[in-house]
Amino acid sequence: MERLKSLVPDELKQRIATSMSNDLLSTSSSVISFFLHLEQFHLITEDLADPKMALCSKNKDAAMEFKQNGNRFFSNGNHSLALSYYSKALRVAPLEKKDDEKNKDLGSVLFVNRAAALYRVGLPMECIRDCDRALRRTPSYAKAWFWRGKANAALKDYGNACSDLKIAKLMEATSLGKKQVECELSIVLQKISEVPSLPLHNNDERLRKLDEKCEVELECVVTREKGRGMVSKGEVPPSTLVHMEEPYVAIISKNSRDSHCHYCFDELPADYVPCTSCSIPLYCSETCRGKAGGGMPRNREAEIASHESIPRELKKHFEDITLKGIIPENLNMFHEHDHECSGANWAAVLPSELVLAGRVIVKALGKRGDFLDTAESVEPLDLCHSYSELAPNVKLESHIYSIVLLRCLQSSCSFEIPINAVSVSRTIILLSQIRVNAMAVVRIKSSGEHLSFCGFDASSIEQVKVGQAIYARGSLFNHSCQPNIHIYFLSRNLYIRTTEQVAEGHPLELSYGPQIGQWTCKDRQKFLKEEYSFQCQCSGCSTVLLSDLALNSVHCVSRDCNGIVIETAQVSCERNKIKHHWGISSPESLEPYLQIENLNNLDREPSRVLPLGGGYCLKCRSFCDLHSSQAAIDEAWINFERLKDEATTIEPGESLIFNASKSFNFLKLKLHPFNKRIAEAEDILAKAFCRVGDYQSAQNHCCSSIMILEKLYSPKHIVIAYELLKLLSIKMASGNYTSSETADRLNNILRWYYGSHVDAVFPSYMGSLVKGTNGCS
Ligand SMILES: C[S@@+](CC[C@H](N)C(=O)[O-])C[C@H]1O[C@@H](n2cnc3c(N)ncnc32)[C@H](O)[C@@H]1O
């Protein structure tokens, strides 16, 4: 891309840099005439679009090599490595079975080999699913029936195990193989005579009960400051599900490509399935693969019917398995990966936003046919954009990316894709719509393995971005740094829930990222301007709040004054709030830290409340040299960085804890008590003390950290729940299982934010932690 950018003449660059959305037809036309006559452009786009040059097409030789490695590790008893090689082989193996393939093909062999490895590593369910895959391709595959039988026996489902093994015996051609099956069968028959067979197990453990209904009526209203936004038609209680939606289009993040399903974004199971025609997407099941359009298994009814040799009593079992899950092709459904699946490089190489734009174009063309044809054609997605406010460099990139994308789509789409001023300018607008409206699909991840062994570590929670999606109606919710709704995702679907009581007609606003308590107002506004090109007009950015003032502040130099000292840029941000909005929240809570006497007589003059520059105490106006204070604070912080690094992996040395504790006393003298760094320092110390087994000190530091965060956020904020989880793990690590108060608080916040979906969103052990602690109280 840099190469193409550098080729654009300066005069055109300049026009694009200063262009507004109205100018796009003209700038697009110039870009097209420039690039379509440029040999380098054609070379680059051919590289991207020609399947012969692509690295992501299927490769039988590579698959055979992976398979051999898998076989080698399997024979040596290294079954997990064998499993990983069979999976690699499946990813690159050509999986489209040809009509003339009567016998088992490479795909069937790889599925059975992987099934055997799955059985050996103790995953019988996954083993059965892989056997089924092999049997749908090759119904007479004796080994697949054999491993299926063994896995069913491991699950104590002796009835099915017996049927599987009986069919395996019928299908087995070698006498040695037959003997092996007979031996297994006799064990199962013996078991059947001893214990009753368990009822059929549910093969799909990932099925979840998600039956909560969304019954709130919302409406879209327009305001001068924020454009369209969503409000509720009636009063809504906290924790109410107000919206749920499937994405218009979605795409997996590049860093999740090997770990999460490319359709539903859930974590991949050990028996994931690859795309049938290219080597990029991986899916958790055939259902997801079918929905994404990564190749459908053929209906093999005719072939199966030809198996006359199956005795009547086994026929139903045989057909149930070999025909099971064959998804009828849904012609009305948009298969978002289909047009990328020609084995070309572009979908794997271009940025995700661009590939997402390609998916919108193909879906819109499939639905309407005229999305790119005329400037008047109706938008498939009525979304706002911010092209005119983009940085010059981003505007230029959008022009180049749009023409590259259309060129790639031309070569891999069944529709006609025109490249003209209209189509390019519409694609540029689409890219800026995606920039403003795409949501990051996230999953909650914890770094610990098992709570009772790892104690504190088990509860390090983070949100991991696994995908990006466009939700047509979800995009109409505006941002607030003090949100009253909360979003989360199950599979690829968006859910929105209130986090407080919302009055009738009041805007429902979520956070696009930054929140009060996390960053100061200045930093939040900078982020929103850079990422979303808007000046935040939310209530949190128009009101003077203790959290915004204290978050990064230092203590007044006069020890008997509680006043806050902040830097110049922050002072001017807060002064602007007073000047333009005159908002001060909860004066009583601010009074100890700020000069706000005679509040009723105040006019809109900021100097009545805040000093002109930074470094002055907001309460007594004493001056503090922020520059030298900051240098001393940064130096003291080094001890925390060291302790943090060491405490994540090993037991930290005594001297590290001693030095950090000394620095901590210094930080407490210098920083304001509600400064976020103090909370972080408390957190690092808690972790370190936990590592060395001093649970009481760990607990004290953890509690102090929670108290600061409650001031900066609010006592019911989800951030507090994550801290409570840490506190609970410390208590449990110390053998205290009677912390029902902490567990109740944690449970309440989680239910507040996730309602009935709490168990689906959080790793299951967290639920059992809460229940376990409650149970022990
Ligand atoms: C995802 S859209 C929300 C819907 C949008 N208001 C509309 O009319 O389509 C994001 C855009 O809404 C506007 N917006 C959202 N929250 C805002 C806020 N707190 N202050 C100002 N503008 C806001 C900005 O123009 C932003 O780029």
pLDDT on residue 775? 45
CA of 541 to the centre of ligand 1 (A): 14
Give the orientation angle of helix 764-776 with respect to helix 740-754, to 10 degrees.
140
Q: Which of ligand 1's atoms lies nearest the C-alpha of 229?
A: 6
Q: Is 274 left (phi over 0), alpha (psi -120 to 50) or beta?
A: beta
CA of 427 to the centre of ligand 1 (A): 21
Which amino acid belongs to residue 546? Answer: L
Q: Which of ligand 1's atoms lies nearest the C-alpha of 382?
A: 9
What's the rounded mean pLDDT across residues 422-427? Answer: 94
Of the listed ranges 534-543, 661-670, 766-775, the one predicted with least confidence: 766-775
Instruction: Give the Cβ contact number of residue 123 at 10 Å.
Output: 20
Is residue 136 pLDDT above 80, yes or no?
yes
Question: What tokens appear for 365 in the block?
Answer: 């063309």
What's the rounded mean pLDDT across residues 687-711? Answer: 93
How confident is residue 734, by pLDDT bands cut at 50, 70 and 90? confident
CB-count exposure of residue 13 (10 Å: 0-12, 13-18, 19+): middle
CA of 626 to the centre of ligand 1 (A): 36
Residues 6+ apart with CB under 8 A from 708: 673, 674, 675, 676, 678, 679, 682
| Residue labelled with tokens 């025909």 | 323
Provide the H-helix boundaries in 37-174.
39-49, 60-75, 79-92, 106-120, 124-137, 142-154, 158-171
388 lines ligand 1 (CB under 6 A): no
Most confident of 202-216, 473-487, 581-595: 473-487
DSSP string for 671-700:
B-TT-HHHHHHHHHHHHHHHHTT-HHHHHH
Give the helix/strand (H/E) hosting 241: strand 241-245
CA of 230 to the centre of ligand 1 (A): 11
**For the whole model, what pTM was predicted?**
0.90
How confident is residue 651, by pLDDT bands cut at 50, 70 and 90? confident
The CA distance from 709 to 715, in Å, is 8
Report the SS3 class of residue 651. Answer: coil
Is residue 97 pLDDT above 80, yes or no?
no
The mean predicted confidence, pLDDT, of the chain is 87
Name all domains of the chain by residue range, CATH numbers in brackets.
2-54+344-437 (no CATH), 60-194 (1.25.40.10), 626-771 (1.25.40.10)
CA-proximal residue: ligand 1, atom 7 (nearest): 228
Sign of CA dihedral 309, 310, 312, 318: negative
What's the rounded mean pLDDT across residues 358-370? Answer: 83
Higher pLDDT, residue 649 or 391: 391
| Residue labelled with tokens 């103090």 | 678
The CA distance from 217 to 18, in Å, is 43
How confident is residue 204, by pLDDT bands cut at 50, 70 and 90? very low
pLDDT on residue 454? 41
pLDDT on residue 451? 44
Question: What tokens appear for 679 in the block?
Answer: 């909370």
Rg (CA), the chain: 31
221 lines ligand 1 (CB under 6 A): no
DSSP code at position 199: P
pLDDT on residue 599? 54
Is residue 583 pLDDT above 80, yes or no?
no
Is residue 366 pLDDT above 90, yes or no?
no
Mutate which of 243, 478, 485, 521 for ligand 1 pocket (most atoms within 8 A of beta carbon): 478
Looking at the DSSP assignment, which residues form a beta bridge with residue 543?
583
So what's the ipTM on this one?
A: 0.99
Residue 580 near residue 544, CB atoms below 8 Å: no
pLDDT tens-digit series, residues 428-448:
999 999 999 999 999 987 665
What's the rounded mean pLDDT across residues 187-195? Answer: 86
CA of 435 to the centre of ligand 1 (A): 12
pLDDT tens-digit series, residues 453-501:
344 454 567 789 999 999 999 999 999 999 999 999 999 999 999 999 9
Higher pLDDT, residue 47 or 484: 484
Query: Percentage of residues in the chain with pLDDT exceeding 90?
Result: 60
pLDDT on residue 453? 35
The CA-atom distances, in angstroms, between 60 and each of 57, 66, 68, 135, 516 are 10, 10, 12, 21, 54
